[in-house]
């Protein structure tokens, strides 16, 4: 159904411009040149490389361009988008299959402007955010990228079905959703908040997951108020006390980004990868900047709905499941254990309308984050084999509506659907 709608929307969008005209426009866009990068290259090369390594960490290039356990930046990581699978490209210095023959200008055109070797890039590559990178960061990043060992590996990036495999259509997407603008500081904020703004909306590309997407994969207007991608719900990052970061102090945010854990929460899924690959390598001042920026965002307007009543049949069953299966680690008061086992109580992810992340870790389990600051790696066991859909649904409803939490009930049907989508195992007693 979505595909049909999307196609219809695309067709209408294209029709407005006129197909031929659009095609010419797209062709023209691909051939564009951009102003040359103005950067200070007076520092010793090694210093610039180290700065570039840091920029690569802030931009989390490795998240997509490195397959865990394989050669760095050799590409091949699969991104599952609503439109199909896209594979990240090889960005090592290999001359045939990587970017070993590229110039800084070509690199800039791809990273900040979304036009690569084969034409328009898919916005799975977060060039709409990277567009905000400064010239200096781009130049340093390129100095670092040129030190990456060449790895010969051909990646077929585009395996999308028609019409999404037609890259020239992205010119239209860009027209609708891509503001190719450099970073502009917010007026009247401290330099710390401004740095945080740059990191969050520029290299950090937090919106890629934490901002909801429309039918065409463009950002919705409710920036950083939560989104769902690849079977995970990335929660609201605004200071909403119920579903956002309202209960986290700046230090909580810093601890979370530095170690993957804090007194309340533990990173899992794509955020765990982001912490391990990216944010743990950021210096404390930059992490404080991110916290300062997030704390000053206007809170989203989502209000807590009334909790499901404790006499509800799901709540009664859910309590028993909680007591028999969860309390050993998450504790009877839902408070978890600081820096290793997430609290249920007051947890934004637990209160989120969308239970995708909860279903994901409950069904499949999750290895814990391992960082230099906290190597514990306390993980979540999988429960797909252990319990039937209705018990798991009751548990989630109970957890989402106890200790002051409130969130929509989860149905057995929701669990069944998640089991299928996540290719989880069936309940053993089935």
Partner 1 sequence: MTYTRPKADAVIVGLGWAGSLMAEALTRAGLDVVCIERGPYETTNRNFSPNIAADELRYGARREALRPPSVETLTFRNHRSEVALPGRDFSNWVVGYSVGGAGKHWSANAWRFLPSDFTMATRVKERYPKMKLPEGLIVQDWGVTYDELEPHYDRWEKIAGISGKAGVLNGKVQPGGNPFEGSRSAEYPTPPLERSRWNDIFHGTTEKMGLHPFPIPAGTAGAAYTNPLGINMAPCTYCGFCGLYGCGNWSKSSPNACIIPALMTRKNFTLLTECTALKAEKAADGKTVTGVTFIDSDRNIGFQPADIVIFAAFQFDNVRLMLLSEVGKPYDPETRTGTIGRAYNFQTMSYGFLYFENEHMNPFISTGALATQVDDYNGDNFDHSDLGFIGGAGIMALSDQATPMGMTDRVPAGSKMWGADWKKAFSHSYQNYGKIQGQGTSYAHAESYLSLDPNYKDDNGQPLLRMTYEFNENDRRMARFIKGRIGDICKSTGAKTWETVAFPDQPFSPSRAYDSGHTIGGTAMGLDPATSALNRYQQSWDAHNLFVIGASSFPNNGGYNPTGTLSALTLWTAKAIINDYLRQPGLLTR
Smallest gap from residue 98 Cβ to partner 1 (A): 25
Residue nearer to partner 1 on the CB measure, 104 or 329:
329
Residue partners of 123: CB distance under 8 A and separation at least 6:
114, 170, 173, 177, 178, 217, 218
Smallest gap from residue 283 Cβ to partner 1 (A): 18
Smallest gap from residue 246 Cβ to partner 1 (A): 24
CA angle 238, 239, 245 (to 5 degrees): 85
Residue nearer to partner 1 on the CB measure, 92 or 371:
371
Q: How far apart are CA 339 and CA 176, in angstroms?
A: 42
CB 284 within 8 A of CB 258: yes
Binding to partner 1 (CB under 8 A): which residues in 242-281?
Answer: 261
Residue from 66, 174, 339, 360 touching partner 1 (CB under 8 A): that is: 339
Binding to partner 1 (CB under 8 A): which residues in 350-379?
Answer: 365-368, 370, 372-379
Smallest gap from residue 223 Cβ to partner 1 (A): 34
Give me 149's structure tokens: 């060992």
Smallest gap from residue 340 Cβ to partner 1 (A): 4
Residue from 155, 189, 337, 422 touching partner 1 (CB under 8 A): that is: 337
State yes or no: residue 394 binds partner 1 (CB under 8 A): no
Binding to partner 1 (CB under 8 A): which residues in 312-331?
Answer: 325, 327-329
State yes or no: residue 341 binds partner 1 (CB under 8 A): yes
Residue nearer to partner 1 on the CB measure, 339 or 356:
339
Smallest gap from residue 261 Cβ to partner 1 (A): 8
Binding site for partner 1 (CB under 8 A): 261, 325, 327-329, 337-341, 365-368, 370, 372-381, 383, 386
């Amino acid at each position: 159904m979505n595909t049909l709608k999307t196609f219809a929307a695309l067709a209408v969008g294209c029709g407005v411009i006129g197909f031929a005209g659009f095609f010419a426009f797209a062709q023209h866009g691909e051939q564009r040149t951009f102003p040359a990068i103005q950067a200070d290259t007076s520092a010793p090369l090694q210093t610039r490389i180290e700065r570039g390594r840091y920029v690569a960490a802030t931009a989390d290039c490795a998240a997509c361009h490195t397959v865990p356990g394989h050669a760095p930046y050799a590409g091949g990581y699969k991104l599952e988008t609503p439109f199909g699978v896209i594979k990240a490209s090889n960005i090592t210095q290999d001359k045939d299959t990587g970017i070993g023959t590229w110039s800084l200008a070509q690199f800039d055109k791809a990273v900040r402007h979304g036009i690569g070797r084969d034409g328009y890039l898919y916005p799975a590559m977060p060039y709409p955010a990277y567009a905000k990178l400064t010239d200096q960061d781009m130049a340093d990043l390129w100095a670092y990228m040129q030190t990456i060992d060449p790895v010969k590996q051909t990646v077929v990036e585009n395996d999308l079905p028609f019409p999404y495999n037609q890259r020239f259509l992205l010119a239209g997407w860009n027209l609708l959703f891509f503001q190719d603008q450099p970073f502009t500081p917010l007026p009247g904020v401290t330099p710390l908040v401004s740095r945080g703004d740059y990191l969050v909306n520029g290299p950090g590309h937090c919106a890629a997951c934490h901002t909801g997407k429309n039918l065409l994969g463009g950002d919705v207007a409710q920036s950083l108020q939560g989104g769902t991608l690849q079977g995970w719900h990335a929660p609201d990052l605004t200071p909403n006390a119920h579903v956002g970061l309202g209960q986290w102090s700046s230090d909580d945010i810093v601890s979370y980004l530095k170690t993957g854990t804090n007194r309340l929460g533990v990173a899992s899924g794509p955020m765990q990868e982001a912490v391990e690959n990216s944010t743990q390598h950021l210096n404390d001042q930059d992490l404080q900047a991110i916290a300062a920026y997030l704390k000053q965002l206007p809170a989203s307007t989502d209000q807590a709905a009334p909790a499901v009543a404790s006499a509800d049949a799901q709540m009664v069953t859910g309590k028993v499941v909680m007591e028999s299966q969860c309390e050993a680690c998450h504790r009877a008061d839902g408070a978890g254990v600081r820096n290793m086992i997430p609290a249920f109580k007051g947890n934004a992810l637990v209160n989120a309308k969308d239970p995708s992340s909860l279903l994901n870790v409950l069904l499949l389990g999750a290895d814990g984050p391992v960082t230099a600051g906290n190597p514990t790696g306390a993980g979540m066991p999988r429960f797909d084999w252990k319990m039937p859909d209705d018990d798991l649904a009751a548990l989630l409803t109970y957890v989402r509506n106890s200790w002051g939490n409130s969130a929509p009930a989860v149905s057995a049907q929701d669990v069944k659907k998640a089991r299928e989508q996540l290719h989880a195992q069936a309940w053993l007693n089935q």
